[in-house]
Every structure is written in structure tokens, then in C-alpha cells.
Structure 1
Amino acid sequence: MLLEIGKKIGERYKIIRHIGTGGMANVYLGHDLILDRDVAVKVLRYDFQNNKEALRRFQREALSATQLIHPNIVGVYDVDEDNGLQYIIMEYVEGTDLKKYIEKNGKASPEEAIHIMSQVLSAMALAHRNRIIHRDIKPQNLLIDKDNTIKVTDFGIAVALSDTSITQTNTLLGSVHYISPEQARGSMTTIKSDIYALGIVLYELLNGKVPFDGESAVSIALKHFQEPMPSIREQNPEIPQSLENVILKATAKEPIDRYESCEDMLHDLESSLSPSRAHEEVFTPAAMLDETKVLEPIKVPDKTQKEQTVTATTVEDSTAQKEKERNSKKEKKSKKKKWIFAILFLIAAIAIAAFAIFMNREPDPVEVPAISNVNENTARSLLQEANLTVGEVIEEYNEEVAEGFVIRTNPESGEFLPPSSEVDLYISLGNEPVIFDDYLGENYSDARSELRELGFMVERENVYDESESGTVLGQSIDPNTEVVAKGTKVVLTVSMGEQTYTMENLSGLNREAVESYADEYGLNVDFNEEASDEIAEGLVLSQSISPLSNFNRGDNITVTISSGPAEPEIVTFSKEITIPFEAPQEESSSEESNSESNSSESASQPARNHVIIYMKDADHKIEDVFREFDIKEEQKVTLNFRILEGENGAYIVERDGKVIMEEDNLTE
């Protein structure tokens, strides 16, 4: 029975759609209405709701899974119940699982397989350090998100399924391909059971299919502890022996021959393609190397030897025996009573001695349990179960053991102590903090190397600045701050030098637009003006920083603005002319009578010529009178011309109404 789409769980998580079904739970895509994010909602199936043991395991293991914070483990956000409905809210991984990935892409290259398995082993190492055994590792439980990051899922659910002895045919068929021999035999599972499954997954990645298959789950399970692991190199000789050895060691039939931890397997896997391991021998489990011990048979004397011994003894002792029998009959009666009392006394003495020994014997010693990498509360419980007590608790920094977990004990695990003895616990404080230094002004490469060596994750943030390129200008952690280095991210702000810009073509812009551009990029601008027949007045004619060249803030630029067409150049020159005088002519005879009457008056006035001069230059037009005067005699006149460069001057002289002189095309 599935949940209704749109149903709200815990008044917070809205069901979007059904994703899949597992052995004990249904999984849905949900949406967190408070944090506005998609989540995976895993709900315990209705047929297990009344199973108290399943409920208890589901809740306990789900809560344990919240401790597993790792980039390659699906995060568990919330564990709760809603009207009897048990649910877990987990990180939603958008992508596919490794099984579908293999079906789609086929065999993985050695490098790709190592990359994938390294992520899985890193996640499982953390789980095992927290005493959590997955028990159901298979490609279906290894998710791949859109960034090709592996996410291990279904922590705790597989444990609950195992602990409550729940069997589901579909689940068994899905997991039996990865089941360890000890699981197939019904024995207790350990971290080495998970390591076996990881070896099978690595085999499947490299080969594209599982090593053991069959028509039924039982036949497949039998193959796991009866048949040898198929050689992957026979199917793909390009796989190096060193990589196949990782599979062979992880999938050894006996747990003692497998890797001690996921860290050991990870280390071996990451070095498997190293040239130094190119000629590695095939891995052979130690259990197969033990020689059969031959026991020497006990020698029994043959019949002839026995008869000879008996005969010799009989002949030798027959005479003495008869004599001894006669003497013994006499003494038998007298000694009989003494022997009875002696035996009774001896029995009593033995009983008393045995009682005394029993009362005074020391109790059997107890073994110090292995409690490294467990939290302090769990360690105390394990010591109490072993009939030991906690002595001194010593705290110290440790890079390998998480804070609050046991580093080691004193005495060490495996030693035998009298009951109720004290065992000292060394508890990890985690990584030792360091005092963060002041890196301002230092070279980024040097600062990064130093920080990485300490264990910091360094990120760079570039800014433009007047400082030399590569200089550290800021740091996200203040100097003299106490901080744990390992895994801590620090951001260093680094100078890229002065910012360089590309000059635009300012042609056609007016003065206001140029000033706005200069303000935006921090330029100091000077303006000039220059006449231009081609560029309109007020627009940019030229610029001192040419277009597409680089410049920095604070640079100077000179911009020339067009003042419009240039004024023509004025050419000045002078022209001297001589205006001749012409005496007036006598009038005709018909007029003589009139002239006679005025003869006396004419004789009294001198003769004159009336002169008019017309001139053309920059200041005068030829049709306008330039000068007008009378002359009584020949007269020289100087004409001062002002003409535009490339143009001509001209003049006309009229005397008494007649043109007597004219000239054009005058130049300097």
C-alpha cells in the first residue's frame, strides 16, 4: 500500500511521487516545505508497522545513520513517526544507481573502477569506525549523482532486516550475488562481510557482470562458499594482476584472509596501477598455504613380543609368588582393619584439601576487549560486559581517530586481567588546533603550500589591485585564531595586479559622453579643439589612447573635439594703379551761344575727372562702390586686397562714367 501523492508527513514533507520499494520500506520523492528542497522519504512498510522488533531496529539504526556525515554517504536529515508511520528523511540524490550505470555503460576501465570504488571504500571506512555494518552492499545501493559522485545508501535498513530474520524473495535475489560465504552459511556478519561484497562490486565494475550466477538464490549462495573466484584477467588480460589481487583478497573464502579494514583495501586499490606492482604474483589465501600435519602413529607391540614378555615374567616370578601368598595370608587379617582406616583418612584429607583449594583459587582472567575507534560510552559498556572497570580517562589530540572516540587502552586489547581490573581509556580530542598565521602581503603560492601542508583546504579569490600580482590581500580566517587545520577551508583574496581595460573607439561621441566614459574607468581626460571639414562640430575627432589598446585606471587621455570646418586663411596684398587725367573736350558749335554766356564762369573753375573704383575681395563686392573721388590730374591709388586663400581679387575704374581700367584674377 503506497502513500497518496500530495500527502504531508510531519506537517512538513510533501509526497511528490513514488521512487522505489525495498525489503522493509517504500521510498518517495518529497519536498521539504520549510527548507524548500527536495528530499527522499523512506517509510516503513505497513506490513512491518506492528513488528516491534522491526520498529525498534528501524529507529535505532536510522538514528545511528545520522552520525555518518560523509560526502559519499546519503545524508539522513530527520527520523520520526507520523500517526504510527515510521519514516526517515534523507538526502535526495538526482541521478541513477551503479547497477543501471553498469547496464548502460558496460565494463569500466581500471582507472574508472578505482575512482568509483575509492569513494565507496572511504564511506564504508567511516561506517565501520562507527561500528555500523552495512550487510547489504550492492550496486543498487550505490547511487551516482549528476556530478558523478558516489553516494552509499540504505545504512541501517539492511541491519534491521538481518536482525529481525525477515526474508523476502525479491530482496534475497537482489542481494545474494554479493553475499559473503559466512552470511550464506548463516554465520555472524562482520566488517569483512562488507569487504567481501565490495570485492564483488569491483569485479562487476571491471567485468560488467557478477562472478556467480544461477537459476535460484540457493544455487548462487552455494557458489559463494564452494567455487573459486573466476579470474577476471582470463576475460580481460589488460587488467593488471595487482588489480585482480585486490578482488581476490577482498573475496577470500575465509574472513581471516581478507583485508582487515576498508582503509587497507583502499590503500591497496589506489596503488594497484603503480608500475612497481606490474609483475605482482597471484594472490593466494594463507588458509590454502597451510600444510597438512602428519601425526606419527602410536607403536603397539605385536603378539609374539607380548607372549615372550608374559612367559618370561611368569617363569621368573612363580616361585616367589607362592612364598608370598603364604606370608600374606597370615598378615592379611591383621592389616585389613588398618587399611580401612587409612583409606577413610586419606579420602577425608583429599576432600578437605580440594575444598581449601577451591575456596582459595584465583578467578579466571578476562580479556581486554578491542574498543578502539568506538565512542566513550560504548567503550564503558563493553568493559562492563567484560567484567572490567574504567580507570583513568586521558584525553589527547589524534588525527586518525574522531573526537570522543577511543584511541587505545592501557592495558592493550587482547591482554588478560583479573576480573574488575581497571583499564585506562585514551580518548581523542580530534585534530589538534593551530594558531592561524597572518598571510597578508605574502606570495599566494608560498602561503598555499604552507596551509596545505598543515591540512587546510585553500581556495583562491582573485581581485584587481595596485599590489603586485599574486600578493595575498585578505584571508577568511583572522590571524591568531585557534582553528583545526585538517579539512578546514580557508579563502585567500589574491591580487591580480591593476585591472587592464580595452579602450573603446570614442569617435562620434560628444564631450559629455567622453567625460562619462572617463569617470567609469577612472581616466584623467584633457580636451583639445581642432577644426574639421569631416567631423561635425562638438564630436570627437581623435584620442591619444588608440582604440583596442589597453589602459589602467588613473591613466591620462587627451581627446580632440571638432570645432567644425576651419576658417579660410586671409591673404593680403596691395595693388598700385595710376588713374590718368583727361581734360574735358570743347562742346559743339550749337552750344557755343550758351557756353559764351558762361564762359566767364568756366574760366574761373579748373577741369576735373570724376573717378569711381569698384573692388572685389573678402570684404568687398565688385558691384559695390569702393571709392569715389575727383581728380584734376593723373593720380596714383593703392588698393589693399584681403582675399580668402585660393580665391581671386578684382577691381574696375570708371572715369567720368566710362570704364578706363579693370583687372581680375588678382592674387598675391
Structure 2
Amino acid sequence: MEIGKKLGGRYKIIRHIGSGGMANVYLGQDLILDRPVAIKVLRFDFRENKDALRRFQREALSATQLIHPNIVGVYDVDEEDGLQYIVMEFIDGTDLKKYIERQGQVAPDKAIHIMHQVLSAVALAHKNRIIHRDIKPQNILIDNQDRIKITDFGIAVALSETSITQTNTLLGSVHYLSPEQARGSMATSKSDIYALGVVLYELLSGSVPFDGESAVSIALKHFQEPMPSIRALHPEFPQSLENVILKATTKEPADRYQTCEEMMADLDSCLDPARAAEDIFTPVSMLSATKVLTPISTGNRDKEDSGKTIISKDPLVTEKANPASEQAVEMDTGKKKKEKKWKKWLPFLTVFLLLAGAGIVYSFFYSAEPDTISVPDVSNMDQATALKALTDAGLALGDISEEYSKDVAENLVIETHPKKGSSVVKDAKVDLVISLGEELYTVKDYAGETYESVMGELRSRGFIVERTQAFSSDVPEGSIISQSIEAGTEVKPSETTISFVVSEGTQSYLMRDLSGYTQKSVQDYASEYGLALSVTEAFSADVASGLVMSQSIASGSSFVYGAKLSIVLSKGPKEPAVITFAKSLTIPYKANSSVVESSSSASSSASSSNGSSSDAQSSATVRTNHIVIYIQDEDHPLTDIFREFNISSDEVVTLNFRILEGKTASYRVERDGEIILEEAGLTK
């Protein structure tokens, strides 16, 4: 796909960001809504593949039915020039597989936070009768704020379709394949739950539970080998956390969680201290009792074989006793011999049993222990009621002590010493432990502390901890901005929900393409995002004057609020420089010119009344040359007369020229209509 191409006249391709089995994914820009989008385009080699085309269209249909904050949203589905494409929500982050490879094993709290979002999304799909069938970390996206988005419903099929659709092809990644899928059976919602259990194992351990040299060997392990123990790798994990994995990944679907909601509820409480000593989970199918079956026989053989039983773990298995006749005779002969031996020893056995019985009677009557009383259960009783119960049982009240308890209300009995059900002699003293109620906890000021550490501490004390996200340029990412309960407040943890506003760090945005913007438009955009704007100018023969030529933050790149942005505005084409220079010429005089110039002057004056006189002065005739000068520069064309005059001797003339950079000047001098001087291509 060519970078810069527009699909549907609306979605501009920015860059390639990934490839899948049958499609390429590009980062695009929605030019109408001005937002980044992910565009999945069916590869050219699948354009004629009807199965691939149908699967691609099914992905679009499946995804548009699912609207959930943890499922990648689909904005548009269209076709252009034979290219099928889906426009989806763009997630600025990575997939969970790369996240695990980069982070290694994930802490239990964070793993639960991630899985809670995944389970919530898959639960919605199951409610819409859609099973994903390819749940794996590669199809789970995670952004920089640990927000989860599930994608690729390319092989998800509505349950209504699966009732009539079943092939021998194993779909999905073999590392997360359920045993029933590995056997070639139909995938169900329980198959998704199995894959979710494997994903949880990988989050906590940093690796998949089953691996091998081939897909077949891995698939065999899924339905033959038990799930590896996560506690063998990390003994610090509570058994209750491992039990979630074991129950989700049992070999038999019936033993798994019935729904994603059930798994989510178990996961949310698995770190509670009260569940720390939980027994290891054992599937119901492994607890089935061994059945003892009586063999089928008829006639006299019933008497002979009545003592024989057949032990079978399979209720469908039945075994018949069918010995050969010779063996039957031998067994019958042996039986008669044994009966004779027993008859021989029968008198001695009778005497022994009588003596033993007499001993037991004597021990009962003469060596009996004193009467004992079982300590009654007085837990959750007030002190007066508990005292009455002890007295009625023939016991006495011993010491009374007090302890805090979040499980037993104030002033009620927590336990007794000795414990309930213990055997004690009559009138023995029983100590009571009375509850002071739940110990109050003084809430601290958690602003600036890391949310993960605070959450772990408060949950261990019984708090319900919630969080919301907010951008902040002052508080580091993952740290607490504010809390719902004021510091110094005393609360009961088991009855308290505390909410935190957690920093997502400085908010980032995608830079717009400012090419062709005016300075005013750029200033408005910079004000919206608090950008520190600097403007310079440069000549351009391609960009009109006053419009943006270039920008320091590239279009489509991320920037944070308050970042520095520099732009270059066009000054239009560069004006050439004006050059001025002068040239001096000597114009020669020609004596025998035909041009005559006459000048005369006469003056007369009146004399006194005595007389009159007139002096006539004859005019002198002088021959001159008529000179005409033409010049060509930025201000004068060569066709116009620049200067015209007469000379009667050689004369020096200075011509001043004004030309643009890269241009030249010229001149021509005529004397009495004849060109006597000329020159072209003049420059400074």
C-alpha cells in the first residue's frame, strides 16, 4: 500500500505498522474526524481467495457486534479498487506477547488487573454467542497505561454457526489450544477459558506452560500432561492464585469455570489473606470413587463365585469369571482342605475369644476414665450467652481476653481455649476471646506514591481499591494524584472503598500536518495544545507567501502538551537584487558636420538728443554635432531616447545603469544620425 494514498477519500495511509496471516495493518489518519486510525487491508494474494475473503468479512461483522472498552472498536468497513479494508480504533502501544518479552514475569496484582479487563471483554463476546477461538497474547493489545484491547476476531464464529460447522483444521495458536481443540473437537466458550488460563500462566511466569519442537508435540502435551505448577517456579505466590490457573486449564471442560464472570470473581479475591492457605484445586473428574462391580453369573456358579469381585474405574466395564473346569476342581479341593484345618483349630479359637471378651469387660468397668465433656461452640455469642452455654454444658468460665477481628462483631466471642469440640473433664475452665471489632485504620496521604504498591498494601488490609486515570504534567506516570478519603481519617478497611486518581503521565497527541496553514491558523492550533511556537520565514518558489513550508514536529508524530514547535513560513519567490553601475564615454566631435547652428545678437541703444548711433554686431556661425543617446536597463528600453544634445568639441558623458541580478544593460550613441558608439551585455 502506497504511503499517502487515501482510501474512500477519507483515510490517509501514514505508515505500515504490522502484518497478519491474511492482512496488512497501516496507521492512517481520518481526515474528516482528524484522528489516527488503524486500517487493516486484505493482502493482494488473498483477493481471489473466497475463504479468506469470507473470513475477513466475518471478522468485520463479528467486531461490529461487540462494543466494549476492552475490545478494539471498528469504525468503518469498505472496499476500493478490489481492496477490502476495515478501519479500526488505533491503539498506541504493543501486544501482550511483546510486553511479556520486554517486562518478563508480571507481578500478581498487575497480572490480575490485565486479566480482569481481558475477561470482561471475552465475557461480552460469549454473551453475544461469539467465541474468539484464538485468544493469545499476540491478539491482546496493551497501551502505555496498561489498558487492554482485544483484537482479531478473524476466526471467531457465532455459536449458532458452530452447531453446523466443524472441520479437522486446528485453528488458533497451538500454545494456547484447549485439549478438546487439540483432539479435533468443536471449540466452545470453555475453550476460550482454557486459553485465558494459559495467558494468566504466561503473565505470571514469563513463558508458556507447554513448548516443544513441533506443533503436534505441543498439542499432545495439552491433553496428556498436567499443567505445570506456577508455585514450583514462584513459591511466594498463594495457592489460591495457582488454583485459578488449574481450574481454568483442566483437561475436562466440565471442570473449568462455567463463565468468564465466575473466573473473574475468583481471580479478584485470590490474593485475599483469608485464602492464602487454600487447598490445591483438584478437578471433580479426578475425585470420582472407584466402583466395585459384582460379576454376572448363573445357577450353581453364583454360590462358588459369590466372593469374587471385579474392581473397575470405568462404570461401563464388566468382567465375567469363566475358569476352566480343571481349575474349578482344584479350587474346590483346596477349599475342602482348608475347611478341615479350621475345624481342627476351632476349640482353641473359641477359648481365646472368651478370654479376650472378659478382659474388655473388666477394663470397661474397673478402668474407665472420668466423664468428659465436649467444649460447645460459643463463637459469635455475647459474653452472657456464652457463659450460660458453658454452664449448661457443665463447664466453668476461665480467663477473658480481647482481640481485634474483622470477621467477628464487637463484644462477641471469637473463639475459646480449649477449642470448640475439645474433650475436657467436667467443671473444667474455658477461656473466652472477645472481639474488639475490626481495628480502625488511619488513612495516609498517598499523593505521589506508586499506585501498585499502595494498592497491594490496602488490599491486604481488606480495602476495596479502585482507580481512575488522568493525565498530569506534574505527577509521574503510575503515581497517585489524589484520593477519595482524606488523610488522617479512621475507617474500617473491610467496609471501605477507596478510590485513587492515578497519573497517566503527560498527555500525548498526534501532530497535525500544518502544510499550507497560515500563521494565524498555526497560532490557534498551538494555543489549543499549549505549544511554544517559534516562526521563521524563507523564500519559496513552490509555496505561496504567508503559508507554512515546514514544521519541526513531523505530521503523525507524538507530542506532549507544552512542547516546542517551530514552523517556517514562505515569503514567496525571492526578489532578485538590483545592481547599479556607471559607464563613462568620450563622444568625439566631427568638424565638417552639415548641421549649422546660428546665433546672433543685436543691440541698439538710443543716444542722447544730440544724435543717434547703432552698432550692429554680426553673428558668428559655429558648426555643431547633434548627439542622441539610447540606453537599456531595468528602467529604460533601448527604443526610447535617453539623452539628446549638441557638441562642438569632444565631450565626456557618464551613463548610470540600474539592472536586476542576472540581467545586463546596453547603450547606443548616434551622431548626426549615425551610430558611432554602442555596447551590449553590460554588467557591474
Q: TM-score, normalised to structure 2's length?
A: 0.42
The structure in which a higher percent of residues are helix is 1
Structure number with bigger Rg: 1
